[in-house]
């Protein structure tokens, strides 16, 4: 069982895949995410213009686990009078 890291050109789900890397699924998803960031950073230094700009991680069944665009999304929080936090 392996995770698949796809380095893509663009953040869309149908963005073209430029590189594919397989990582054993025994590794925690946070570590797989760090590996993907490192791969993206290392390839981005060599080829700036035509290289990959984003990544996505697929689980062993081919379902998307974590895209790089998810880190860019900021969520707003609201605190009510009772002190509860609400996510928007």
- The pLDDT score that the predictor gives to residue 28 is 87
Residue 65's pLDDT is: 83
Taking the chain (88 residues) in runs of 10, the rounded mean pLDDT of each run is: 89 88 88 90 72 88 75 51 55
pLDDT of residue 12: 83
Per domain, the residue ranges of the chain are: 2-87
The Cα 83–Cα 3 span in angstroms is: 40
pLDDT given at position 48: 63
Q: Can you tell me which residue has the tokens 């991680």? A: 57
Residue 4: its pLDDT value, please? 93
């Amino acid at each position: 069982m392996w995770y698949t890291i796809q380095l893509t050109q663009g953040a869309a789900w149908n963005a073209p895949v430029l590189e594919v890397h397989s990582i054993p699924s025994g590794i925690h998803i946070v570590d797989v995410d760090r590996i993907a960031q490192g791969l993206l950073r290392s390839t981005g230094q060599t080829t700036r213009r035509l290289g990959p700009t984003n990544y996505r991680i697929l689980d062993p069944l081919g379902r998307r686990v974590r895209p790089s665009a998810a880190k860019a999304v900021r969520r707003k929080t609201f605190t009510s009078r009772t002190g509860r936090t609400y996510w928007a």
